[in-house]
Amino acid sequence: MRIDENTVIEETARAGVYRRRRLDLTERWLVDGVVTSGQHDAAVVFATYFDKANMRDRFSSLKLDRVDFGDQGVDQEHALDARNQIRDAMTILGESMGPVVWDVVGNARSLRDHVNRNTVRKLNVHEAKGRLIAGLDVLARHWKLN
């Protein structure tokens, strides 16, 4: 159920328990028609792999060799598989689209935050948005989500 344009109420894993949640960037874009359902699904899959690999908010670089499995309850086999999926995705995306997908989808940062943190190349929010959409399209085709 939708409360307003940026907030929904949804049922949790426990039956009868609901929570309020803000829509993420790709969900808002899906509603507005900016991305297709396949591109949104690619963002969800990438974020899920990112969480399974226990990588959210851990690294500021794209180096995947340092993954911490010290947290209790982390299934190492699934985490390694997720890390390999992320490595494959980042190889496909390259240096142009990879960093924006990493920051915005993987680490749930805003486009503006990604642009402000990007010290390698100067780009604006519109360029970053284009690279993110293109990256999601590439991932959707790679994972056959279209």
pLDDT in tens, 80-120: 899 899 999 999 999 999 999 999 999 989 999 999 987 67
pLDDT of residue 69: 54
Q: Is 132 exposed, middle or buried (0-12, 13-18, 19+ CB in 10 A)?
A: buried
C-alpha distances out from residue 113 to 6, 38, 98, 117, 137, Å: 19, 25, 15, 6, 22
Q: Which residue has the higher pLDDT, 117 or 43?
A: 43
Q: pTM, whole model, 2 decimals?
A: 0.82
61, pLDDT greater than 50: no
- Tell me which residue of 50, 51, 86, 54 sits closest to 70, measured CA to CA: 54
Q: Which residue has the higher pLDDT, 101 or 21?
A: 101
pLDDT of residue 13: 81
CB contact at 8 A, 42 and 140? yes
